[in-house]
Every structure is written in structure tokens, then in C-alpha cells.
Amino acid sequence: MKHSENSNEKSVGIWIRVSTEDQAQGESPEHHEKRGRYYAESKGWQVCEIYHLEGVSGKTIIDHPESQRMLKDIKAGRITGLIFSKLARLARNTKELLEFAEIFRQHDADLISLQESIDTSTPAGRLFYTLNSAMAQWEREEISERVAASVPIRAKLGKPLGSVAPFGYQWKDRLIVPDAQEAPIRKWIYELFLEHQRKRTVARLLNEAGHRTRNGSKFSDTTVDRLLRDPIAKGVRRANYTKSLGENKHWELKPEEEWVLTEVEAIVSPELWNRCNAILDELRKKNKKIPRKSIQIFSGRAYCACGTKMRVPSHSKYICRSCRNKISVEDLEGIFQEQLKRFIFSPDEVAQYLQGADKTIKEKEELLTVLNQEQKKVSKDIDSLYELYLAGEIPKEGFGKKYQPLDERLKQLEEQIPSLQGEVDFLKIRYLSSDEVLAEARSLFSEWPNLTPEDKRKLVENITDKIIIGKDEVEITLCYLPSSSEIAGTEQRNLMDSWRRRT
């Protein structure tokens, strides 16, 4: 059983967590493993790890040795995807499921849940990460709101907010006061900057004098800038003035009306602080540059016919570094639009393909139901036969003759069912993503002239599998849609002819 997906081979793991109750109902670990293997085979993926958690409760499993081994493999890049029968098999604990999904997203790895038809390597499946991020954000905001409600009150009272005191200060008797050892160093930072007007020079002089930050690191220009900007040194402590944008993201300032300002003992005069910050403002104006941001919408999807990924060093042409094959950015964009146009003007062929896929799925699901029913019947017949044998109603020879064909058929069904189930899983996910890609392709074609490069790039990433650029032709493969030969073979040749004419 093989299906052409034009996917790059990737290494995946299979996650098996089957409770004792599930095994009693016939859901064996072997069945789940076979189902996962057949799905991976359909995608052209390599199964390199199996994670066994048979009989383990799903209440909390993130600290289980197998879970830790799996996460270690994800972080190391040993596997880039995890296949499991359904989300409840991965984790029943919602918090742990969110944690797993976030780790996978951070390491560009995929989650494949066969029961829910979720495969985050597909356009339709990526919605899972979007929904997961929304749920995680909602949970963070709920906690944040409860904590934030008490922050302004504690800040106005001058109480600690759970953070350490800034460099140059310390908490003493629940009040923030200058630190006898650090305060002179912080004051010297302002004096050095006023004299040299260079943050790197200040950092170098501090380090040469043997001073270090509180965690033992050397001073950097960034640290110097932060310390110079903080108004606490002139006697004004800010609280409740920033908020986090999420894990691994920066902080941003809150509106000034939400800030809580309290007076503390100053280390430097307001005049010295203001003069240093005026110099910083002036330096920022002089050094401010508008970065040139060039977005290549096909970057990462464009490959030379020799197999090398093509780059855009000159911002005007995609070039292969191996064989120097090249194509202009404008030409490739034009050819891509022509490919999208094919799906606008051949709706009947694509619809026919999708209807055929839907019919195939239904037929295979019906066959799967029949096989499952037969498996239950054969198992029941074997049990009944064995009971008759134990009761002495069937002789040993007669038992053997009746048992052998039943046992052989049961073994056949145990091979056929997971194989067929894996194929149904594959077809369902492929069908969902085909529909998604088709909708996005049509939307992209109609809206293309009005889209920003960033929006074009995002949509191209969602619907494009690979663009192969040869000397005389360009082959564009959209994800999870029928190939050109399947729906419009002559149009593909016309596309190639138009490309040859343009070159």
C-alpha cells in the first residue's frame, strides 16, 4: 500500500498508551502500532521510535520515562512527528496536552491524531496548533488577570511584587533602599556615560575595573542602556508598567495611566539622570535605521531540478548554487498564478476528484465495519468452541479441526483491520486538506493583486508542497491535490509551453 504524496521523508515515532480496560475490549498495543505504521507508510515516513505506555493512566504522564524520552527525541530532532490513535491516548490532562503541543510547535514537529483526523503537517491540520495556542493564551490570560488585579494595590503600598530589586537597590524590611555596595557602581555608570557618551565604553571601563552584574556576568552595552533608562536611580520607582507577550517573547509597556509610581531614595540627581537620557535619545535618533525587509514568497519551496534548494541573493532571481540554474522572481510568480488559475477554471475535474475520494473513504469505512463485526463473531465462536471442549462435548480431534480455520481467520483479520484503518486515516486527512488547499488556492488567485508579500508568503506555505525549476520547465505541486495528469494533463503541457516561450 503506497500513496504518492511528494513529501520529504521524515522520521516519526508512534505513541502507544492503551489502558487495561482498552486491552480487555480488544484494543491491543499491536493493533495501535500497526495502524500507526500503515499511516506512516502511506505518507512515505520512516518510523524510527515506538513509545510504549501500556496500562499507564492518562491522568498525568508528562513525567513518565517514556514521555521524557519522546520529548528528548523531539528536541534533539531525532523524530519530527508523533503518531497516536487519538488525543486522549496522548494525554487526558488538558494542561499536559497543551504543554505537549507547545513543545512540538516550538521544535517544528508534528502531532498526528488518527481518530480526530489531525495531522499538523497538513494545511487543515495546522488549525490544531492555532486552536491550541488560543486555548493556551486564554489560560494564561485567566491566570494573569487574577494576579494582575492585586499588583497595582501592592505597588501603591510599596510592597514587593515578587521580583528582585534593581541593580543598586535591595529590599530591606519590605522597603526598597539603596544597596551599600551596588549603589556607588550604579552612580558611576551615569558619570561615565556623561563623560564618554558611549554605552560600550562604559561597559568596557566597568569590566576592566573588575565590576560585574549581580549574576556575575560582564556588563554589556544593553545592560548599561537598561540601567541608564530606569528612573528608579533618580528616586522614581515604576511598577505595573509592563506586560508579557507570552513565553519566549518580549515584554511591552502598558499605557502610562496604569503605571504605579512611588518615591524611593535616589542614587543620582534628577539633573544627571535627565542629561544622560537626553544623550541616549539623541544617539537613538542618529543610529535609527529603517531595515530593508525583503520577503521572498517562494523561499523554502523552490528547488532546482538537481535537488538543491534555490536562494534569492540578488532579490530579483532564484538561483541554484550547485548548477547556477536561475529564474526571475517575476517569472516564477507569474507561473504560480497560472497554476492557481487551473484550479479556478477546472472546478468540475477537481470536484469530481474530491467526490471520488469521498466515495472511496465511505466504501473503505463500510468494509472496516464488516471486518470488525466479523472479528467479534470469530472471537466469540472461538470462545464458545473452547467452552464446549472444556465441557467434554467435543473430542480433541474435533476441536482441532474446528479451531484451526477460526484461528487462521482471526489472525488474517488482525492484520487486515489495522491496515485498512491506517488507509482510512490517511484518506480522511488527505481529503480534509485537499478541500482546504483548494479553497485557499482559489482565494489566493482572486485576491493575489491585493495581498501583501507577507500574506502571499503565508498562503504559499500553506498550500504549496514543492516547486521544481528545471532548465526549460517549472513543476508546481500544491499540497494534497490531484496531480496535473490526474485532472488536466493538457493544461500542464500548455503551462510548460508558456514557460518555454517566456524564457
CA distance linking residue 82 with residue 103, whole number of Å: 12
- Output the average pLDDT for the chain: 78
What pLDDT sits at residue 354?
Answer: 64
Grid coordinates representing 281 are 535619545
CA gap 7, 59 in Å, rounded: 35
Hey, what amino acid is at 66? E
Q: Catalogue the E-assigned strands of 320-425.
A: 326-328
CATH fit for domain 11-143, picks 1.10.510.10, 3.40.50.1390, 3.30.1360.170, 3.40.50.2300 = 3.40.50.1390
3-state secondary structure 471-496: CCCEEEEECCCCCHHHHCHHHHHHHH
Fold held by 302-502 = Helix Hairpins (1.10.287)
pLDDT confidence of residue 495? 35
3-state DSSP call for residue 281?
A: helix
Sequence letter at residue 391: A
Report the pLDDT averaged over residues 434-447: 70
Question: How is 302-323 classified by DSSP, letter by letter?
Answer: EEETTSPBPB-TTSSEEE-TTT
CA atoms of 487 and 370, how far apart (whole Å): 33
Integer distance in angstroms from the first to the last C-alpha of the chain?
Answer: 40
pLDDT tens-digit readout, 76-85: 999 999 998 8
What is the residue type of 215? N
- Numbers of helices and strands, H then E, in the chain: 17, 16
Q: Which of 6-20, 106-120, 121-135 has the highest mean pLDDT?
A: 106-120
pLDDT at res. 25: 52
d(CA 231, CA 236): 5
Question: Which residues have C-beta within 8 Å of that of residue 444, sequence separation ≥ 6?
Answer: 340, 451, 456, 459, 460, 463
Q: Which CATH superfamily is domain 151-287 in?
A: Putative Large Serine Recombinase; Chain B, Domain 2 (3.90.1750.20)
Pairing of strands 236-239, 242-244: unpaired
Flag whether pLDDT at 177 surpasses 60: yes
Reported confidence tier of residue 41, pLDDT bands at 50, 70, 90: confident
pLDDT digits (tens, 9 = 90+) for 269-316: 999 999 999 999 998 888 765 455 557 888 888 899 998 988 888 778
Q: What is the pLDDT of residues 256-273, one digit of tens each?
A: 777 778 888 999 999 999
Q: What is the pLDDT of residue 313?
A: 80
pLDDT at 353 (0 to 100) = 62
Q: CATH 3.40.50.1390: which residues of the chain?
A: 11-143
Instruction: Tell me the angle at which helices 489-502 and 329-344 cross, rounded to the nearest 10 degrees.
Output: 160
Percent of the chain with pLDDT over 90: 23
The C-alpha atoms of residue 11 and residue 465 are separated, in whole angstroms, by: 18
The pLDDT value recorded for residue 483 is 47
pLDDT at 51: 93
CA distance 438 to 443: 9
Say how far apart CA 4 and CA 487 lie, in whole Å: 15
Q: Does pTM surpass 0.75?
A: no
Q: Which helix (H) or strand (E) holds 414?
A: helix 396-447
Helices 347-390 and 329-344 sit at what angle, rounded to 10 degrees?
A: 70
Residues of the chain with CATH 3.90.1750.20: 151-287
The answer to whether 374 and 413 are in contact (CB under 8 A) is yes
